[in-house]
Structures are given as C-alpha cells and as structure tokens.
Structure 1
C-alpha cells in the first residue's frame, strides 16, 4: 500500500478564531495510542473545549474529545485523556516564555494527518473582548456588502 501524502483535516476549531486574537501558530505532533489513531482516521474528533498547558516543561493537550473506536475492545482509550504534544525544545521554550505573559493561552486550531502522521496546529492567543467580536463581525459584513456592490456594478 502506498504511503499517504498531503494534509487530511480531521477536525478544526472555527470558534477559536472568533474568540481569540491568534498571534503565532505551531505544528505539533501528538503522542497517541492505537485506537485513537483509528478513531481519527474515521474522522471523529472535537477541539471545541481543547487547550494546552505546560506541566514539568512538557506541553500537554487537554479537553480534546476523541471518541472511543467503535471496533475497539478492552484496550480502548479514554475519550478526553491528556495527550502529549511533540515539539522541538526551542519551540517549547519560546511558547512557555510567551504564555507567562498575562492573558495568553494556547488553543488548538486544527487536527489533521500530514503524510500519515497525526498533527495538531496550536496557536498562541489572547482572548477577545465582546466589543472586539462585534467589530470583527461588522467588518466582515461591510466587506461582504462592498464585494456584492462591486460585483453587481461590474455585471452591468
């Protein structure tokens, strides 16, 4: 069987881009057990409540829901267990120093397979205030209306 190529997205966290200002993104590997990989290949995962935090200079992904594998036996995994993120040491120190500043957190943006290996895209982010969310929504609507007006004018 040929080796997988490219990027196959399993789950994405669209709400994170609405709730946070994304400052920097990183690609991290995941330490998974066999049934988790099989459940991900079936396309089942949720990043909605996910976050990452440091414990003993290691970065752990928490709150991510990977449901149990349906054909799994007693060896099945716990759906919301902590999963270790695999990054280079210099990336870990950079992330750790930036999260020590107030208001910064680490959120997962996407969970995907890249060349057959499970990866997660994490972001260093700061929370948005309610008025920031409203302004972003208003800007998006204004931009959409301007594009609509331009397209109707061009068609005449």
Structure 2
C-alpha cells in the first residue's frame, strides 16, 4: 500500500521555471525550499508553464521574506486577473528566516531564486539559494574547470 502512494505522488512533481544563470553568476553556498503565497489565477497560469524567475531576487524586509520582480503571465480565462510582477510573500520558518537575514547582512551575500516547481503534493515551491556574487575571473575559472572536465571525459572515452 505504501509503495502505491509513493508512485502516485511523483507524477505531480513538475518544474515551472528555472534560473539557469544563477549558478554561473553566483557561488551558491546553501539552498532552502520555500512556499509562496499566490492567488488562484496565478496558480492556474503556473499550471500552463508561464513564469520567469531569471531577473527576480528575494529580500528579507520587516521580518518577512519577499520575492521581488518575478513574472507570472496573466491567465486568460480568469474573472479577476493578477498583477504580473507583484511582490509575492514567501513562507519559511522563523529559524530559516533569521539564518537568511544574518547571511544577507554579511558582505556580498544575496538571496537568489533557483527553481520554481510543483512538489509531489501539487503545491508551488521555490528553491532559494544563499549566494555570493562571482567576479569575472571566478566565472572564467569555473568555465575552464568545466571545459577541462569535458575534455577529460572525451579522452577517457576515446582512449587517446
């Protein structure tokens, strides 16, 4: 019986939006899963895969966590539509919120949204990374390391 429940819950997991540049522009130190407060038309729009978190960021203000500048496309068939780029409140525990606030107070740390998805229960979740911005030479070093890894795999495959 337990196996059936587990198998039936996995099809609900679905990635809505991903911030691919985040791992290139930032060194991610830690990540936290957060809930997000949405209206009905926003959830319907997300089910149709119309969202963008690439230019967005998270901020701790007045003891609350906010997602700023994220885009959720308007839902055509909604009676009461939503604002596309409004600030959305995020749900985290007090302990996690205090950890995020202390991390952002340190030099160069910021909160970057990494991926928005529906979890196995069908709820919208957002993975937030506590990150430090990379300088240009750090980005070049990361790229060189990645290229060397690819080249090494090619050499091992071909046996040269």
Does TM, normalized by the shorter one, top 0.5? yes
Q: TM-score per shorter chain, which class?
A: over 0.9
In the other structure, the counterpart of 2:27 is 21
**Structure 1 residues 1-156: aligned runs within 5 Å:** 5-6=9-10, 7-73=13-79, 75-114=80-119, 115-153=121-159
- Which structure 2 segments of 5+ residues have no match? none
Q: 3-state SS of the aligned residue for 2:159?
A: helix
TM-score, scaled to structure 1: 0.93
Q: How many residue pairs get matched?
A: 151
Structure 1 CA distance for aligned equivalents of residues 95 and 106 of structure 2: 18
Secondary structure, in 3 states, of the residue corresponding to 2:33?
A: strand
Deviation at 1:5, TM superposition (A): 2.3
Provide runs of 4+ in structure 1 moved above 4 Å.
Answer: none
Unaligned runs of 5+ in 1: none
Under a length normalisation based on structure 2, what TM-score does the superposition of the two structures give? 0.91
CA RMSD of aligned residues (A): 1.4
